[in-house]
Amino acid sequence: MINFAEKQEREDFIKRIQKLDEHSTPSWGKMSVYQMLRHCAMWEEMALGRQIYKQAFMGKLFGKIALKSMLKDEPVKRNLPSVPSFIITSDGSVSLEKENLITLMEEHAQSPVNFIHPFFGKMTAEQGLLLASKHLDHHLKQFGV
C-alpha cells in the first residue's frame, strides 16, 4: 500500500504535485486544481492535529466500518462524498498551495499523530498516514498526475 512516510514514495508524490499548474483540469469531479490542493492541505492540517473536528453522528454509526474498507489496498472510489468542512469554494494561488501541501505532507511523514476524523472517528497515526497517502493519490490521479 502506498505510504508517503517512505522517503521514495514521498519524493514521488512531491514530483506529481509539482507537475500541477493553474491549467490542470480534473478527469472527474468539480474541484479546480487550487480547490483540490487546499482540500488535501486541510486533510493534512487535521491529521497533524492543527484542526480539531468532532465525529459526526453518521460517522459514529458507520465510521469504523467505512475506515476498515478505506484502508484496504485498493484505490479510493471516485465521487465519494466529502466532509462538508473540506469542500472548498474559493480560489487562490496554485503555486503557494502546492508548497503548503508539500510542507504539510513532509511534516506529517516525520511526525504523525493520532487524531479524530469527522467521519471515521479516532484514527491512529499509522491509519492517518495510510489514508492521507491514499487520499492524496486519489486526488492527484483525478488531475492526471
The number of domains in the chain is 1
**CATH number of the domain that 96 lies in?**
1.20.120
CA terminus-to-terminus distance, the chain: 18
Residues in the chain: 145
User: Model pTM?
Assistant: 0.94
Say if 26 falls within a structural domain. yes
pLDDT at 22 exceeding the cut of 90: yes
Task: Print the domain residue range for 69.
Answer: 7-142
pLDDT at 117 exceeding the cut of 90: yes
Say if 1 falls within a structural domain. no
The per-residue pLDDT for 6 is 93
